[in-house]
Chains A and B, each alone.
Chain A
């Protein structure tokens, strides 16, 4: 199956700072990358879909100006959480889609 990496694995930052999360598809050319978010003790919810060479689409309730997504190549999609606040603390995980879908290892963000 597809091999997906994410960096960093975890990050702790102060409120108001920005954090960039990278998602790389190592053996699969990903024209689409799905970004999910998982709050503690909850399930995974799609937050946005990045598309190579075009604008990302965001799910209802997700602020596009806060969660900046860039998909500049077929192997790299990035999610930047701008001006992070404690309520943004969550587990962020990506997947390039496909028939059988595989996920990166995830990034645990803690905002103090």
Chain B
């Protein structure tokens, strides 16, 4: 099945710094989403981005489907950005339409 790899696995930032999280996937995808998992476990939708670029406030994401990667940019990070960021994809050729998750990037933003 499709493999989803995220890097880095851990990231520690000082408040105000910028960061880039990467997601590589091993096959073509029909859907790609970025999530932020808060300390209570809730998965918060950040972007639905099978291709192209989107921006939402301090966050933006780019997916280059032909090269099989996606990037999540966080600018001017805040302590509330801390948590785990997941990239997840759907590959209809190999699944029932469920999301396949990467292992996540754990972000810690220090004041």
Contact = CB atoms under 8 A, between A and B. Distances in A.
Given A1-B45, A99-B48, A101-B33, A43 B99 contact: no
Contacts of A36: 98
A42 B99 CA distance: 15
Interface stretch (A21-29, A68-76, A79-87, A103-111): A103-111
Interface residues of A, number: 24
A106 B101 contact: no
A9 to B, nearest CB: 9
Size band of the interface chain B makes with A:
20 to 34
Contact of B45 (A43, A57, A102, A106): A102
Contacts of B40: 105-106
Given A43-B104, A44-B86, A105 B98 contact: no
Contact of B101 (A45, A57, A91, A102): A45
B87 to A, nearest CB: 10
Contacts of B68: none
B70 to A, nearest CB: 15
A73 B97 CA distance: 20
**Residue from B88, B96, B103, B104 having most chain A Cβ neighbours under 10 A:** B96
Contacts of A105: 40-42
A101 B101 contact: no
A97 interface: yes
Nearest to B49: A100
Contacts of B99: 34, 44, 46, 95, 101
A32 interface: yes
B48 A100 contact: yes
Nearest to A34: B98
Interface string B1-40: 0000000000000000000000000000001010000001
Interface of B: 31, 33, 40-43, 45, 48, 86, 88, 90, 95-104
The 8 lowest CB-CB distance pairs between A and B, nearest first, are A100-B48, A103-B43, A106-B41, A34-B98, A43-B101, A44-B101, A46-B98, A43-B103
